[in-house]
């Protein structure tokens, strides 16, 4: 790793690199800005959620609206992100998504068999989703740290 802390004028390549970084930040900010209100209003509009995390219900209109915003942000934002990432980013995201998928493909049968054997509660979709997110995040972090060493 080397520092770019120089006082000279940036070259054409550096300007292009900065533009790329700005575009990526813009798309990421857009995805984040779309997701934030979903969580905020879901917390406000949830009814009967005193028994635990995500235990309550949401008004149907909000559920439909939240799904629409979520799909727009993830699918649309994902496609926009893809056009702005380079091939190293693309490889890292592919491996990240593979790890997340593997967490479900491996995790569910293991949990299912343990449940059938009376050793664990019934498989829970939210926990499996969390495991997939965790596996993806850990993989991405590992790849990025490995590239920095």
Partner 1 sequence: MDRGDELTDMRNRLKVLRAERDWSQAELGGRVGVSRQAVNAIETGKYDPSLPLAFKLARVFDMPIEDIFDDGERHDAA
- Asked whether position 87 contacts partner 1 by CB under 8 A, the answer is yes
Using the minimum distance from each CB to partner 1, give the nearer residue, 61 or 146. Answer: 146
> Does 124 contact partner 1 by CB under 8 A?
no
- The verdict on 6 binding partner 1 (CB under 8 A) reads yes
**Footprint on residues 19-38 left by partner 1 (CB under 8 A):** 20-21
Handedness of CA 39, 54, 78, 62 (dihedral sign): negative
16 binds partner 1 (CB under 8 A): yes
111/130 Cα distance (integer angstroms): 14
CB of 147 to partner 1, least distance (A): 5
The reply on whether position 14 binds partner 1 by CB under 8 A is: yes
- Picking from 33, 42, 21, 37, the residue whose alpha carbon sits closest to that of residue 77 is 33
Q: Which of 72, 88, 134, 141 binds partner 1 (CB under 8 A)?
A: 88
Q: What residue spans of the chain are helical by DSSP H?
A: 12-45, 60-71, 77-84, 87-116, 125-148
Instruction: Give every CB contact of residue 20 below 8 A, 6+ residues apart in sequence.
Output: 84, 86
CB of residue 99 vs partner 1: minimum separation in angstroms? Answer: 16
**Does 60 help bind partner 1 (rule: CB under 8 A)?**
no
Cα–Cα dist 145/129, whole Å: 24
Residues contributing to the site for partner 1 (CB under 8 A): 1-2, 4, 6, 10-18, 20-21, 86-89, 91, 146-147
């Amino acid at each position: 790793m080397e520092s770019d802390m120089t006082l000279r004028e940036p070259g054409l390549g550096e300007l292009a690199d900065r533009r790329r970084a700005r575009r990526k930040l813009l798309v990421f900010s857009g995805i984040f800005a779309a997701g934030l209100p979903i969580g905020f209003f879901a917390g406000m509009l949830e009814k009967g959620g005193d028994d635990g995390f995500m235990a309550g219900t949401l008004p149907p209109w909000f559920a439909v609206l939240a799904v629409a915003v979520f799909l727009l942000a993830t699918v649309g934002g994902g496609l926009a992100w893809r056009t702005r990432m380079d091939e190293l980013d693309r490889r890292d995201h592919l491996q990240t998504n593979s790890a997340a998928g593997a967490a479900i493909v491996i995790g569910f049968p293991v949990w299912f068999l343990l449940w059938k054997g009376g050793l664990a509660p019934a498989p829970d979709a939210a926990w499996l989703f969390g495991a997939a997110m965790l596996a993806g995040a850990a993989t991405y972090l590992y790849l990025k740290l490995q590239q920095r060493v």
